[in-house]
Amino acid sequence: MNKIRHAKVLKVTKDAGIKVADVEFALEGFQQPLMARLKQSSSSLQAAAAAGRGEEDLVIGDIYRSEGDHSFDWYNNNEPSAYKEISAELFAAAGTGTEDQREQLKRQLLEYGDVKHELQSGFEGAPSDVAGESGDSSLLI
């Protein structure tokens, strides 16, 4: 797995009742920013950490590459077409098991800067229902 050069939490929301965080990161070997979707598998990351489970309660989901032209789109492009799902491409290049690669990437993201702290704060304060009645949110950054 390549080294992370930058990472930050973009937002924390709920998707079908599950807290999710979009984490943007720069990875060596990729020119465009990538985004990982982290899902919280329990109701409280802080409670999980107190019980000694912390990071195990986070599941890394799909990985996306930004396809937006940031010289033209100087703001965050919320269009779904601005992101391409690249999990298979990213993990196939490393040559080890996909789950091992996902765990390694998750650990790297959590160890970078204030990402872990931002996730803990964000999950504790995530809105109860972001997208109205359905509880589903789209890929909005």
pLDDT of residue 53: 46
Burial 31-51 (b: 16+ CB within 10 A, else e): eebbbbbbebeeeebeebeee
Domain boundaries, the chain: 4-124
pLDDT of residue 73: 52
Q: What 3-state DSSP class applies to 30?
A: coil
pLDDT of residue 9: 95
CA distances from 33 to 65, 86, 135 (A): 6, 12, 27
Rounded average pLDDT per 10-residue block, the chain, 141 residues = 90 89 92 91 54 68 79 54 80 71 92 94 67 41 37
